Amino acid sequence: MALKHKYKALKLKSPYWKPGFNYEHFVVSKLKHIVRNGDLIVLSEKAVSTALGNIVDESKANPSLTAKLLTVFWMRKIWGYLLGPLCRLKPDTIYRLREYPLKEGSKHKETALRVSGLLQALKPFSEGGLDVVNLPYSYAALPLKNAQELAERIRQSLLKHSKKVSVVISDSDKTFSIGPIHLCSRPRCVKGLIRLGLLAYLIGASLSLKARATPVAAAGWPHSTEELLDICEIADKARGYGAGRNMWEAAARFKTGFTSITWEMLEKIPHYPIVVLRRI
């Protein structure tokens, strides 16, 4: 289905949003002279979470037997040899799953278990919205619990400057669609998506269903869920991957280990946590 409206995407370069960064003030001050009535602002959930200090240090996790089994057996064997090919993952992704890091991987799975529970920890990545890419050391960004409130707050702040816009917070983790049915693997997302956890990913990826970035919150959005998903995917593509699409790419880019990436390294990478979409 084609987009009901056509949009132009404008990605705004920004400093890296470290914990304590006043992202709300930055967004409003940056956009109040740029946006027009009817524009749509899409913010990266991970960037917002990081700015809010909504992150966890996985190096402090003490892997349980369950986490170790998930790492050694579930990730390396089941995903590496069965579910990876079933879900049509790329050959390099399958190879990486078969070589899934034991130490860092078990700590990550333990964190996923604590944050999102076993069913989410069964996912190969983005477990419950947990995200380690484009973060330093052993930090992982947690999913937002109050995303709708945060989006609405920014919308209201811009409204004070006579800017009537929609504000969306999105996650690059995919929602899979078949006709009007939208399957989301995250535990938190906008209304209109069916939350099925791992099953959503297995169904969507194995059947090569239409995959788009997931809207976590949408304030002032007047159109359909279908178009909202398209908007999030446009913004996600415009934003790019920062240091890389995954930890392997990020580590290769900086020529260092998974947990040796620093804040300073990330600050040198162009970041685009804000994308403005305008009808054309």
Name the pTM for this structure. Answer: 0.95
Statement to judge: residues 159 and 34 lie in one domain: yes
The reply to whether 206 falls in a domain is: yes
Tally of domains in the chain = 2
Question: In the listed set 114, 141, 168, which residue is the last one of a domain according to the structure?
Answer: 141
Q: Which of 107, 141, 175 is the last residue of a domain?
A: 141
193-252 pLDDT per residue, tens: 999 999 999 999 999 999 999 999 999 999 999 999 999 999 999 999 999 999 999 999
pLDDT at 280: 86
Rounded to an integer, the average pLDDT of 20-44 is 97
Judge if 274 and 213 occupy the same domain.
yes
pLDDT computed for residue 4 by the predictor: 66
pLDDT-derived band at 6 (thresholds 50, 70, 90) equals confident
Do 216 and 275 have their domain in common? yes
Q: How far is CA 85 from CA 77, 78, 100, 205, 207, in A?
A: 12, 10, 16, 10, 12
Same domain, 78 and 37: no
Q: Which two tokens stand for residue 198?
A: 């791992």
| 256 lies in some domain | no
Full residue range of the structural domain in which residue 221 is found: 7-45+147-241+262-279
Domain boundary among 122, 141, 160: 141
| 3 confidence band (pLDDT: 50, 70, 90) | low
- Residues 132 and 162 reside in one and the same domain: no
* pLDDT for 2: 53
pLDDT of 275 reads: 98
Per-chain mean pLDDT for the chain? 96
pLDDT over threshold 70, residue 58? yes
Q: Are 123 and 247 in contact (CB under 8 A)?
A: no
Question: Is 87 within a domain?
Answer: yes
